[in-house]
Structure 1
Amino acid sequence: MGKILSLDIGGTKILGALFDEKGEILKREKKSSKSNKGIEKVKNQIKKVIDILIEGETDIEAIGCGVPGIIKEGKILFTPNIPLSGFSLKEFLEENYKVDVYVGNDANVALYGEYNTESISKYDNIVGFFIGTGFGGGIIIDRKIYKGSIGASAEIGHITVNPDGPYCGCGSRGCVESFASKVAIQKSLSNQIRKGRDSSIKEYILDDSIIKSSILLKAYEENDELVVEIMDEVAKYIGIVSANIMNIFNPQIIILGGGLIESFSDKLLDTINEYSKKYSLKQNYESTEFKIASLGDDACIFGAYQMAKNRVD
């Protein structure tokens, strides 16, 4: 087997890695996705990442990709945070690079990456939450990724947790993503600061960029009143949606990952547990374990590698 290139294409960044024949990372590259500048700019950013990674390489065997949204046969049917809805990423990459390409929903791909780690591979039924710019979900049932009839399963971020809540990027209202994601946190902080609330991170909020998780964490650890209040609400809604998932799927484990969780680690777990216990059946709560993702922000690139290696899409 030759080298495999993997991509994690998100609303704010494109992360790529080149894996050798033994599954070790040879090179990494990261660029802004520039989602606000349209589809052609995003396509150019994807190509830039790939071209840097494959420069001087001649034995690239396959490319694996994780992308947010509904994916079917390599085509992005819908994605709320990147201007790629209706775009066949598989066709685009195969035409440009002449290798087999495997494309999956980023959260499913990330969960597949976690599933292939030693500590998780023993479980049969797993649900993953991957919380960063958005709120992605993945489901493994009986050791297989569950995709649904058109590849639209596990859109956990778009479970309604408050029908009177804010509008979501998907067009609906009160989705958990509209409460528990970096986009949602940014909006909440901005709204409160504009109403006169004070915060140590005010300077980071009043511009157009999405706040970094590390800045949020620092303010949280310093007991910034507004940040603590909003992050407690984030954890509450993660707990509520966890309870829903427990009652529907009764998984053995819920994995919490993504950039936001990677920064905060288990600091939100007490509140998540409190609300998941409150709103789930006792037996379901007691039979489900929470675990912080071990691969951190690399889960999707490792999952994309495994997907391409195992010819899974």
Structure 2
Amino acid sequence: MNKYIAIDVGGSKMLGAQYDEEGQVLKRYKVKTKAHRGRKPVFETLLSVIDQLFDPDVVAMGILMPGVIQNARRVEMCSNIPFEKMDLAELIEEKYPVPVLLGNDVDLAVLGEWKQGGYTEQHVVGIFVGTGVGGGFIFHGQLYTGQGGAAEIGHMPYKRDGLLCGCGQFGCLETVAAKSGMLQLIEKERKKGTESILFDTLIPGEMFHTTDLYRAWQKGDPLARKVISKSVEALGYAVGTLNTLLRPELFIFGGGVMESFYDEICEELHEKALAHTMPALRDNVRFIRSFLGDDAGITGAYYLAKEASLGRRL
């Protein structure tokens, strides 16, 4: 029986799984990444995860991480993980006798959602909102990555005189729509002396928990309402722009912010998205929420491993 290994390499943890041919999980293994230790120790941790899952029936591996992946083989840039400019797939293949392909975390999350959901739409845009904003495109039934790094939706220009983004630009979409941008706004309001129940749990300089923001929003906290309203406005603009440019049949929304807020904001988000779409292109598009949650990415990595076993690249 052919088996496949899929691994989700994140800044805080690595999650690995072994799958059978039908996509059933046979084993799972999770460890802390401890990215601060540097490249060699983190690479050794990755190998230890593979060791826990590898056996003679494994025929391929798919590995995902945040950042820019070139040709499904090389890590060009990687957020919070010390693998920049690293030919990671080749290095792993030197130690294990099976093909390895790499993918961006949100690209593969969108692929996993699309494949596992059995959607018939062939043109799909995925938008995942958490600490940042990531995206993924399915065109003509295939994952589209361009030259590597396509669908960096969070770095679409949104506000010309906006906040500094982690990428070095000002006013990117995620400086308003994502938690990283929300935190900057919340900290500004704290310094102004604004009152908010968010400050009861928020530790200065640290990222807030989405559940705390959601509780404050539910209680009608003005600051929580303000940051979510700004996020919805920014996302509506981005979705409308993408709908006009790409004309997909389906938008999939995921990530921690969407998992908490989607049911509350979906109607307003859809209205704003269509308002920002060219009028002639407002029909024949669906908006849905991710159903795989945290397993979306690793599910996509399983499908990537299946492609690797056939000698193909997505």
Q: TM-score, structure 2 length as denominator? A: 0.88
Mapped to 2, the partners of 1:231 and 1:31 lie a distance apart of 33
Q: Residues 228-262 of structure 1, C-alpha deviation per residue, up to 9 Å, x if partnerless?
A: 21112111111111011011001111110122212
> Is 1:267 paired with 2:257?
no
Tell me if structure 2 keeps the 8 A contact 1:5–1:17: yes
Which residue pairs with 1:23 in the alignment?
23
- The aligned runs of 1:80-159 (5 Å cut-off) are 80-120=79-119, 122-148=120-146, 150-159=147-156
Structure 2 CA distance for partners of 1:14 and 1:267, relative to 1, 3 Å: farther
Q: Against the structure 1 CA distance between its residues 32 and 166, is the aligned structure 2 distance closer, same or farther, given a 3 Å change threshold?
A: farther
- The aligned runs of 1:199-278 (5 Å cut-off) are 199-278=196-275
Q: CA deviation at 1:127?
A: 0.6
Distance 1:216 1:96, change over 3 A: farther
CA RMSD of aligned residues (A): 2.3
> Cα gap change, 1:124/1:186 in structure 2, threshold over 3 Å: closer, same or farther?
same
- CA deviation map 1:275-307 (0-9, x unaligned): 212221123233321111121221111010011
**CA–CA distance in 2 between the matches of 1:72 and 1:89?**
11
1:39 counterpart residue number: 39
Partner of 2:66 in structure 1? 68
Whose Rg is larger? 2
1:80, 1:169 within 8 Å by CA — same for their partners in 2?
no
**2 CA distance for matches of 1:197 and 1:75?**
46
Question: CA distance change for structure 1 residues 134 and 34 in 2, over 3 Å: closer, same or farther?
Answer: farther
1:195 counterpart (192, 196, 215): 192
CA offset at residue 119 of structure 1? 4.2
Which range is displaced more, 239-248 or 279-288?
279-288
Q: CA deviation at 1:103?
A: 0.5
Aligned equivalents of 1:228, 1:29: Cα separation in 2: 38
**5+ residue gaps, structure 1:** none
User: Whole-Å Cα distance in 2 between the matches of residues 155 and 250 of structure 1?
Assistant: 18
CA deviation vs aligned residue, 1:133-159 (integer Å, no higher than 9, x gap)? 3211111111112221x2132111111
Instruction: Report the CA distance between 1:40 and its aligned residue.
Output: 4.0
- Residues in 2 aligned to 1:29 and 1:204: alpha-carbon distance in whole angstroms: 32
| Pair 228,246 (structure 1): closer, same or farther in 2 beyond 3 Å | same
Aligned-pair CA distance for 1:39: 3.4
| Closer/same/farther in 2, CA of residues 268 and 83 from structure 1, 3 Å limit | farther
What is the identity percentage for the equivalent residue pairs of Structure 1 and Structure 2? 34
CA distance in 2, matches of 1:190, 1:302: 36
Letter in 2 for 1:109: L
Stretch moving more, 200-209 or 211-220: 200-209
Which ranges in structure 2 are unaligned for 5 or more consecutive residues? none
Give secondary structure in 2 for the equivalent of 1:28.
Answer: strand
In the TM superposition, what is the alpha-carbon distance from 1:41 to its structure 2 partner?
5.0
Distance 1:219 1:52, change over 3 A: farther
Q: Give the aligned partner of residue 9 of structure 1.
A: 9
Secondary structure of 2:126 counterpart:
strand
Q: CA deviation at 1:25?
A: 1.5
Secondary structure at the aligned position of 2:197 is classed as coil
| In 2, Cα distance between equivalents of 1:214 and 1:48 | 33
Change (3 A) 1:206 1:242: same
Aligned residues, how many? 309
1:83-140 Cα deviation digits (max 9, x unpaired): 43212221232234443211112222111111212442x0011111122232111111
